[in-house]
Structure 1
Amino acid sequence: MKVVDGGGNQRPGPGSSGIQNHAKWTFETSQSDVKTGDVIELILKAKIDADWYLYSSDNEEGGPISTEISFEPSSTFEVIGDLIPIDPKQKYDETFGMDVSYFNDYAEFRQKIKVLQPNLDVRGEVSYQTCSDITLSCVLGTADLQFDFKKVYGEDQAPTGDYSDLLEADGGASLWGFFIAAFLFGLAALLTPCVFPMIPMTVAFFTNNSQSRSQAKVKALSYGISIIAIYILIGLIFTSFFGVGLANDLATGAVANIIFFLVFVIFAISFFGYFEINLPTSFVNRMDKKAEKGGFLGVFFMAFTLVLVSFSCTGPIVGTVLIQSFQGEVIKPVVGMLGFSSAFAIPFTLFAFFPGLLKDLPKSGGWLNSVKVVLGFIEIALGFKFLSVADQAYHWGLLDREVYIAIWFVLAILLALYLFGVIRFPHDSKGQRIKPIALVVAISSIAFAVYLFQGFGNAPLTALAGYLPPEKTTDFSFQQALGLVEPEEKHDVTPDGFDGEVRHADFLELPHGLKGFFDYDQAIAFAKEVGKPLFIDFTGHGCVNCRKMEQYVWSDPEVLKRLNEDFVVVAIYVDDKTELPESEWYTSTFDGKVKKTIGKQNFDFQIVKFNGNAQPYYVLLDNNEQPLVTPKAYDPSVESFVKFLDVAKEEFNRRQ
């Protein structure tokens, strides 16, 4: 392989000022997870400017300057063969008196290497020449090689338990659950006074202003698709604005969560009928005029007008979905808006296709306002969830479990009293009879209150795992107040055989009496000392699915037995706001920011070390800090989790 020093010949041509670069390079690998002994391909891609071309790597001596790569010396890999161009073009070049190979618009090259060591480090430079027959000039260029490898294993350290498909299914299941929840929010939005009366009006418009039934159906379908597109655009804006780190900060930050709580309370007061949240009238009127133009563009603006006009009812619901999406993957806002808008758009399209169904719709009336009020109570309940997240992350101790349960208990009773007609809000009709559906909801609300009441007696309330503060925050119970049980002391998490002090154990706990650590360095050192694999639990105070896993899966005797006996457990909280001593601060290689708190450092550790940012996330390592199996995300199956642990234990024993 030739080494390029940056020199070379250029064809004569007009001079130009400034540094020119007519090829933009990107670098990939044929596989991101590799082990010692693997032969992989480095893939080099170039986007070439218009009217310019890039010479290939296979031109003969005496011809143009070919594309070449030079690697920095490294004992971690071995270069195999030459740089291979993928489908270059050829032409006869009179200047060189030979056929030359080149690329227009796009170029791709591949280079094989063999992995020699697990600490694979591939660095180097690609040098190339671009020319233009328009400007009659050539430009030399170089680009630094950059290749990212997610995981590099030793020859005997590749995970044998493949959970990759299961992992994808877990993430997919979580998003599907959020999609369904958002879909239900969309259905709820349909039953509000701003939207429900619009359904027959919109369908009648399509039917009366179309030349045929088929045209009415096409317009109705376009209308539904436009609604979905508009809401997805809202989700995309949130996705692009809130990156990985910012989304995590918003999900657990004190200021953000207090603001979210206040926003939910404002939404609730609006739903109760004390004021309405409206967009500027001038903006709505402008969109309405555009909708009058007709054609498919007019249909789109009709959909946009519906979104704007219904904002006073749908705005709080949309805000709820978007704020809930902060506690998950960055794509979650898009998924949420897709679910919400799908439910929102379906009736308009469905009734336009089958207008006969309109006669079965219930008439508008006071029941629509009742739907808004019920949603208002739900908004307040959800609002306290965000206040609780900040309370746990900063260890304020304001919203302990029994306080939180009491608030939800009171809300459930108030909702029942409202539906029974005892409580009234501004827009409620006087003398309104209790409808059968309202009676069912009221009874359900009372049943929910009874269920919550059991929490005052230290009942686990498993169905609400993840939504209530953890049981460790409980300061009061009726059983203790009556002297029926002794107050529980904080259990000692120090593992047997560990002589030191477990870091952060004064304010963090492990569930179900487990013993372990909250600091990775302490945990891996102890795991090496006792010769056990390390179980890493990437978790968070505000992680709903983490609490569900602890309540439904970790509590199983088979799982607890394995965690207690076969592994060293470490809980890595990615959202804890406790600030560390300045001597422990460091600047992240991921985003270049100084990490000062436990949560910031742990979140950075998860991203840099394991290329992940979602919780829960379970990683099992051997004593060389190499993965034993593919990491696992949320999966409420006890059987699957037991298998996950067993396969890792078998692999650990095999490597000993």
Structure 2
Amino acid sequence: MRKKVLLKFLSLATIGLLSVSIASAQMDDPVRWSATTKKVEANKFEVIINAQIDEGWHLYSTKLPEGGPLPTTFTFENPQGYKLIGELKEITKSKTEHDDVFNLDLAYFEDEAKFSQLIEVTANEANININVEFQACYADKCIYLEKSMSTVAKADAKVSKDEQEVTTDNSELVETDKLSPDKIKEKKASEEVPAEESPKEEESMWWFFLVSFAAGLAGLLTPCVFPMIPMTVSFFMGKQQNRANAILNAFVFGISIVAIYTSLGLLVSLFNLGSDFANTLTSHWITNTIFFLLFIAFAASFFGLFEIVLPGNLANKTDSKADRGGLIGSFFLALTTVIVSLSCVGPIVGALLVEAASGLGAKPIIGMFGFSLAFSIPFTLFAIFPSWLNSLPRSGGWMNSVKVFLGFIVLAFSLKFILTIDQGYQLDLVSREGYIAIWMSIFTLLGLYLLGKIKFKFDSDLQHIGVFRLFLAIASFAFVFYLLPGLFGAPLKTISGLLPPESSQSFNMASNANVNVVVNADDRNSLCDEPKYADFLHLPHGLQGYFDYEQALNCAREKKKPLFIDFVGHTCANCKVMESQVWSDPRVLERLRRDYIIVALYVDDRTELPESEWITSERDGKVKKTIGKINADFQATRFNVNGQPYYVLLDNDEKPLIEPKGYDLDVEAFIEFLDKGVEEFNKRMN
């Protein structure tokens, strides 16, 4: 008897402690919004929206490609006394990085973001109410929030350096302190100081420079470039009366090559109009189709189908000016070298520029600088030390082998542009296994070519296999064997960012196995009824569950099982990582199927429900009409948390079993979390 009383006391104490813990959980509010107005002329004002972002968090841009996270969206509510002019603009330059989870280039802001909207006031005074919906992410979670702000524009007011400001914390107008002219200048100067690059960006830039440098070295081995090295050296030695002049002109030649290629990168940077331009360049079907066709043409040329020749007049004119000699002649010789080499290194340069255009503004410049530096150094060094020429291998069939090798690489890379079109426009034409099969075929043929089993039009007879060529063949076949499990659903995490998403996999051995387990499970593991919203919402790995809290709770009570709540989002990258790296573990899947009733509550789903299912929030008093807003309000109201992923285990009385869990890639810790939940549930049931 005493033992039962003690167990009940401990259970009640545990419930009480967990309730206090959840109630004290912190609501994340990492972005503070404010709005100001600035008169630009007569009745026209600029509404400036400012976002102050906590350290470590980032806010997504207003312009994101389809299939990615939630973009920042502004709504000017019930505009009376004014009208909008043009589109909202991003004042702060966003940063862009490739996200391996979404396989997209995503633009975001850190520390601070400013937006601008031009309006025309049609009354003496206009109250401007702005609503913003946004997604902010930290290293281990993402949150979806909605905020409101207000400001005022007076048509008869004089231009003032003071601006009226309202914060979202109290929704009241607050006048900023009046500043002296000197302080205003200091303030303006401080605002214009660009943010320092994060270590991640700096590391990315260095890595891109090294890749570009290696690409420049690879370009030297092409048939269009390699034979020009001794020809260029002989030009300098033959035109000059002394070695000092030859060395000087060689330096000018090398610097000119760097300047020409870097200028090309500078042009791309100057015309890079921010994240919108990058998204257009990298995701629009027209640009991607053009790049795909160009890369296919270059691959066919490298295989010997035809020869790409730039206009002869262009090379002849620059070559004739190079014959003048001197510093001017060195520059035109460099220009001639660049023009002639483009027919071979064009795909390399193009790939670098396409990759660079989707990054920071300086990335194209850094890429072209790295490429041209590696490209020019050998020319310059051999001109200074002509005796080194004797150590160069003779021109021959090996150069065509390099060209064919590049042809295979270019052919494989060209598929990236088709994949971008397919994903960006949700055509679902490119399956993951089909894409992998094509890559396997390309690299198998490359391996056979390196072993001399395949011969192209301009190839010489291969008497024996060199050691380096053998190593390349081994690497090619090893890559094919690495790709092989991907045909059956293996994640291939190392190159997952280059492949179609796993959801496009038609045949997934692991997924099919999971489905079979569910189908063959006994009645106690089956669901109680048909889940609501199952026609457009799904659980990963063939798991069966619900998408409505009340429906799931009723089933948990009927089956006498604990409830596993998964607060998740369509656009939550960390949720997808948890599902692919933790939930995919067979031990985790077994426990979820056997021990729990699962409910996935999507906090960002925009499906509007019938009016009878709308709710009025206890937290902010607003009416919630969509599945996502209702679920997000439930999470915030009930658990005082707004980040995802977030996992909660409840008993049949809706009491927490153990401390909820967030993002954690430790599989053993997640298994322990599930086991402790079941253990506590069984104690309470007994």
TM class by shorter chain equals: 0.5 to 0.7
Match of 2:478 in 1: 447
Tell me if 1:300 matches 2:409: no
What are the superposed Cα offsets for residues 31-66 of structure 1, whole Å, 9 maximum, x if unpaired? Answer: 99899xxxxxxxxxxxxxxxxxxxxxxxxxxxxxxx
The aligned residue for residue 316 of structure 2 is: 285
Quickly say closer, same or farther: Cα 1:287–1:535, change in 2 above 3 A.
farther
Change (3 A) 1:79 1:275: same
| TM-score, normalised relative to structure 2 | 0.54
Instruction: Pick from 411, 422, 437 the counterpart of residue 380 of structure 1.
Output: 411
CA distance in 2, matches of 1:492, 1:481: 13
Distance 1:198 1:483, change over 3 A: same
SS of match in other structure, 1:110: helix
Of 609, 625, 640, the residue aligned with 1:531 is 640
Once the two structures are TM-superposed, the CA of residue 321 in structure 1 deviates from its matched residue by: 1.8
Task: Please tell me whether the aligned partners of residues 82 and 111 of structure 1 are also in contact (alpha carbons under 8 angstroms).
Answer: no
The 3 A distance-change label for structure 1 pair 236 and 480 is same
Change in 2 beyond 3 A, CA 1:220/1:559: farther
Worse-matched range after superposition: 257-266 or 480-489: 480-489
**Matches of 1:252 and 1:411, distance apart in 2:** 25
Q: Any idea what the Cα deviations from partners look like across 1:508-565, whole Å, max 9, x if unmatched? A: 98343286555698486566434224369xxxxxxxxxxxxxxxxx883289969x99
Q: Is the 8 A contact 2:572 2:644 kept in 1?
A: no
Matches within 5 A, 1:4-23: none
Q: Where does residue 346 of structure 1 map in the other structure?
A: 377
Deviation at 1:76, TM superposition (A): 3.8
Q: Which amino acid aligns with 1:226?
A: S
Partner residue of 2:147? none
Q: Distance in 2 between matches of 1:558 and 1:233?
A: 50
| Change in 2 beyond 3 A, CA 1:170/1:222 | same
Q: Corresponding residue for 1:189?
A: 219
Q: 2:380 & 2:664 partners in 1: Cα distance?
A: 47
Contact 1:288 1:301 in 2 (8 A): yes
Is this contact kept in 2: 1:322–1:336, CA < 8 A? yes
Alpha-carbon offset, residue 493 of structure 1: 10
Question: Which deviates further from its counterpart, 252-261 or 169-178?
Answer: 252-261
C-alpha deviation, 1:191, in angstroms: 0.3
Q: Match of 2:88?
A: none
AA aligned opposite 1:286: K
Aligned in 2, Cα 1:465/1:489: closer, same or farther, shift over 3 Å?
closer
Could you tell me how far apart the structure 1 residues matched to 2:383 and 2:393 are? 17
2:616 aligned residue: none
2:239–2:325 Cα contact (<8 Å) kept: no
Which ranges in structure 1 are unaligned for 5 or more consecutive residues? 1-30, 36-67, 86-108, 113-144, 152-163, 537-553, 566-656
In 1, Cα distance between the equivalents of 2:416 and 2:306? Answer: 24
SS in 2 for 1:427: coil
Within a 5 Å distance, the mapping from 1:486-635 to structure 2 comes to 489=541, 510-513=576-579, 517-518=603-604, 522=629, 525=633, 528-529=636-637, 530-534=639-643, 556-557=665-666
Question: What is the CA distance between 1:494 and its match in structure 2?
Answer: 8.1
2:182 alignment counterpart: 84
RMSD of aligned residue pairs (Cα, Å): 4.4
SS at match of 2:185: strand
Show CA shifts across 1:226-250 (max 9, x none): 1011011111222223422122122
Q: Distance in 2 between matches of 1:293 and 1:493?
A: 79
Please state how far the C-alpha of 1:468 moved relative to its aligned partner. Answer: 1.6
Measure, in 1, the Cα distance between the counterparts of 2:550 and 2:220: 59
Say if 1:237 and 1:111 are closer, same or farther in 2 by CA, change over 3 A.
closer
**Is 1:466–2:575 an aligned residue pair?**
no
DSSP-derived class of the 1:472 partner:
helix
- The SS at the match of 2:305 is coil
CA distance, structure 2, for counterparts of residue 555 and residue 260 of structure 1:
40
Q: Secondary structure at the match of 1:275?
A: coil
Within the alignment, does 1:415 sit opposite 2:446 as a pair? yes
Q: Aligned-pair distance for 1:417?
A: 1.4
Q: Is 2:162 aligned against 1:71?
A: yes
Any conservation in 2 of the 1:183–1:339 contact (CA below 8 Å)? yes
The offset of 1:351, in angstroms, is 1.7
Describe the shift of the 1:338–1:191 C-alpha distance in structure 2 as closer, same or farther (beyond 3 A).
same
Higher helix share: 2
Partners of 1:377 and 1:397 lie apart in 2 by 26
Letter aligned with residue 292 of structure 2:
F
Identity of aligned residues (%): 39
Q: Does the residue aligned with 2:180 lie in a helix, a strand or coil?
A: strand
Write the letter of the residue equivalent to 1:169: P
Q: Which residue of 2 aligns with 1:398?
A: 429
* 1:5-30 CA distance string (max 9 Å, x none): xxxxxxxxxxxxxxxxxxxxxxxxxx
Counterpart residue type for residue 461 of structure 1: L
Residue matched to 1:271:
302
Distance 1:204 1:401 in 2: 52
Instruction: Sort the Cα spacing of 1:458 and 1:263 in 2 relative to 1 into closer, same or farther, 3 A.
Output: same
CA distance 1:412–1:535, shift in 2 (3 Å):
same
Higher-RCO chain (CA-CA 8 Å, sequence separation at least 6): 2
Instruction: Pick closer, same or farther for the CA change 1:426–1:111 going to 2, 3 Å.
Output: closer
Q: Give 2:181's aligned amino acid.
A: L
Structure 1 residue 267 displacement after superposition: 1.2
Output the CA distance in 2 between the equivalents of 1:502 and 1:359. 68
Kindly provide the amino acid, as one letter, of the partner of residue 463 in structure 1.
T
Q: Is the 8 A contact 2:299 2:407 kept in 1?
A: yes
User: Runs of 5+ in structure 2 lacking a partner?
Assistant: 1-50, 56-158, 166-172, 519-539, 553-565, 584-599, 607-627, 646-662, 675-686
CA offset at residue 496 of structure 1?
8.7
Q: 1:209 is matched with which residue?
A: 239
Corresponding residue for residue 546 of structure 1:
none
Write the letter of the residue equivalent to 1:512: M
- Whether the aligned pair in 1 keeps the contact of 2:356 and 2:367 (CA below 8 Å) is yes
Written as runs of structure 1 = structure 2, the 5 A alignment for 1:335-374 is: 335-374=366-405
Flag the 1:560–1:525 CA change in 2: closer, same or farther, 3 A.
Answer: farther
Give the letter aligned to residue 71 of structure 1.
D
1:325/1:333 contact within 8 Å kept: yes
Distance, in Å, in 1 between the alignment partners of 2:369 and 2:668 is 37
Change in 2 beyond 3 A, CA 1:82/1:480 = closer
> Does the 8 Å contact 2:212/2:370 carry over to 1?
yes
Q: TM-score when scaled to structure 1?
A: 0.56
Q: Which residue of 2 aligns with 1:200?
A: 230
Deviations 1:261-314 (A, max 9, x none): 222111111111211222211111111122122222221111000001122112
Name the CA shift for 1:34/1:374 in 2 (closer, same or farther; >3 Å). Answer: closer
Q: Deviations over 1:428-482 (max 9, x none)?
A: 1135543332222112111111111122233322221311222232211467889
